[in-house]
C-alpha cells in the first residue's frame, strides 16, 4: 500500500484525488504563511529582523494559519474535512491546557 492510500485511510477520504486536494490545501497554506512572513516582519522591524522575531512570528501566526487553511480547504472543495480537522486540533490544544 502506498503513502497516498495510507493517507486516504487515515483521513477517511473517498478517493486519492481527495487526498491530493487536501495535500494541495496544506501546501498552499504553508506557502502563504511563509510568503506573508517577510512583509509582516519588515513592517515591524524594518530590514534588520532579529532571529527571535521569526520564532515569535510562527507562534503568533497560528490563528491566521488556521483561517487560511479553512480558506484553501474551501477553494479546493474540502472545507468539511478541514473544519473537522480544526475542531480536533483545538480540542487537543484545549485538553493540553486543562490537564
pLDDT digits (tens, 9 = 90+) for 32-50: 999 999 999 999 999 898 9
Angle between helices 51-60 and 16-45 (to 10 degrees): 130
Distance CA 37, CA 34 (A): 5
pLDDT digits (tens, 9 = 90+) for 64-85: 999 999 999 999 999 999 999 9
> With pLDDT > 90 as the criterion, what percentage of the chain qualifies?
72
What mean pLDDT do residues 21-38 have?
Answer: 96
pLDDT of residue 90: 86
Distance CA 84, CA 10 (A): 14
Amino acid at each position: 500500500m502506498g503513502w497516498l492510500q495510507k493517507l486516504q485511510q487515515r483521513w477517511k477520504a473517498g478517493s486519492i484525488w481527495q487526498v491530493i486536494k487536501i495535500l494541495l490545501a496544506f501546501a498552499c497554506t504553508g506557502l502563504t504563511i511563509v510568503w506573508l512572513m517577510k512583509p509582516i516582519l519588515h513592517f515591524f522591524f524594518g530590514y534588520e529582523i532579529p532571529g527571535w522575531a521569526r520564532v515569535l512570528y510562527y507562534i503568533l501566526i497560528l490563528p491566521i494559519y488556521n483561517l487560511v487553511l479553512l480558506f484553501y480547504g474551501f477553494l479546493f472543495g474540502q472545507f468539511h474535512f478541514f473544519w473537522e480537522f480544526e475542531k480536533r486540533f483545538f480540542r487537543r490544544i484545549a485538553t493540553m491546557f486543562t490537564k
